[in-house]
A and B are shown apart, each in its own frame.
Chain A
Amino acid sequence: MRQTEICIIGGGPAGLTAALKAAALGAEVTLVDRNDYLGGQLIKQTHRFFGSKEQRASERGISIAKELADAVESNKKINVLKKATALGYYKDGVLLVEQDEKIIKIKPKKLIVATGGAEKTLLFPNNDLPGIYGAGAVQTLVNVFGVKPGNKVLMVGAGNIGVIVSYQLLQAGVEVAAIIEAAPQIGSYWVHASKVVRAGVPIYTRHTIKRAWGDTEVEGATIVELDDNWQPIEGSEKDLDVDVICLSVGLSPLTELLWQAGCQMKYVPELGGHVPLRNENLETTVPGIYTAGDAAGIEEASAAMMEGALAGINAAHSLGYDAPDLNKQKEKILMELTGLRSGPVGEKIRRGLAKVTC
């Protein structure tokens, strides 16, 4: 049995900042990630980030990932377990982790669950044909492995991820036939949309996919226009000659470990699904278990980094670690987080958080 002061599950933006903040206060940290690299989804984000200058706006996610991962790996207070999958958390406070086909038992004093999110999918005939991907998978192929998923893509969903991945496909030399969006408005930041539209990709709002066709792989798709009640308008079908259909229809929090730990959960559509109730310290209803990032509610990487920082500080503080400016540090992060969420595009998040913050 390994003992550790703080165990963090997930080495994405939330987990990495949590580890750095907790270690900076003096806590001894074990960071568990199932991939063989740190950074989570950040490593695929080749675009410049929005946000405030203090929160690395204008830097690319891929650069932030490298910076945070290097800082974590060179920190003596942080023990990193890569290619290590957290399998379960049990009543006696033991976390089971699989690494190299061996089971490791870890008994942490505090646990931070920063497991991120998983992509949602969409029901339509033939949605199991090869050539139909989640946007995250396409981003991994193109930006991590340098593999083109195909030659001509239909993107389903005009949120930030759908539009950004479309742009990255163009950068990789892949044609994007269209981006369709069931809602009456583009969900992404409009500047992202303008970028792909001027590069020649049309965006069709009030449209959905009716079916994919093809024998052994995707050979095309039929899209259809939706009316005010989101019902298909007969006769508005259009066939698109594509060999890839990319689904970008939202994410849901990865919360299995929180369920297993007995944290009180609540279904909050604004946050992407079931999320744990938490207090302002990001501690769940099970004392000593904290959460941060997309696992706590689907948002974006800047917010995840700030939540991770808060969870790291709070977990370390609860173990007795302190700093003269601890409260100031927390206040500054909280203020920036509030600012980030304060505009019209943060309205949904604010509504969701109001339902789960006790």
Chain B
Amino acid sequence: MLAQTGVPTPEDLAEVMPSEDRLARGPVAMAECFQNIPCDPCYHSCKRQAIKPFNDINERPQIDHEKCNGCGLCLTRCPGLAIFVIDQTYSENKALVKIPYEFLPLPVEGDIVDAVNRAGETVGEAKVVKVQSGDKMDGTNVIWLEVPKNLSMEVRHFRQKGVR
């Protein structure tokens, strides 16, 4: 249970996951935000009105995956680091997972890293294909990971080899 372990259950995830049909049509954001807390920057960050307006600041984000084009703006504004962008159309057997990341040193493009799931366990390897950083990101960098397609709904973190 999320409230006991900090790890969302498959049922929690099913509720916020884009449909298979939508995933097959390109990048899309997934908000892994499961608690009614007073927070709304994701809604204000979206330029496409893909996040439904909040009637109350304690509502959870509801992404209209049809309107979302996976631009990732919300990902960089979420104080909870709880939004990810998944692109299952990246290549035939690889998917792209974009992850908010606030640790140093930053990885370098081309690095092979341990792909880590929501429970902190290594589930495979990933390749860093892009590192978005700089002043504008205000410390929340975005790392683009190329992962095996079957791990795109598992991998939400990574560990650099040789870096604790």
Contacts and interface: CB of A to CB of B under 8 A. Distances in A.
A343 B58 contact: yes
A294 B38 CA distance: 18
Contact of B39 (A46, A50, A200, A202): A50
Chain B interface size range: 35 or more
A197 B7 contact: yes
A251 to B, nearest CB: 19
A155 B70 CA distance: 36
Interface stretch (A112-120, A182-190, A318-326): A182-190
B26 interface: no
A201 interface: yes
Interface in A175-207: 175, 184-186, 189-203, 205
Contact of B57 (A48, A49, A52, A203): A52
Interface in B124-164: 138-140, 156-157, 159, 164
A47 B7 CA distance: 21
Contacts of A236: none
A189 B57 contact: no
Interface string A31-68: 00000000000000011111111000110100100000
B120 A197 contact: yes
Given A52-B40, A205-B4, A343-B36, A197 B118 contact: yes
A197 to B, nearest CB: 4
Interface residues of A, number: 44
B34 interface: yes
Nearest to B59: A343
Given A196-B6, A197-B6, A339-B57, A57 B32 contact: no
Contacts of B37: 50, 189, 191, 343, 345
Interface stretch (B17-25, B73-81, B87-95): B73-81
Interface of B: 2-8, 32-41, 44, 56-58, 77-82, 102-104, 116-120, 138-140, 156-157, 159, 164
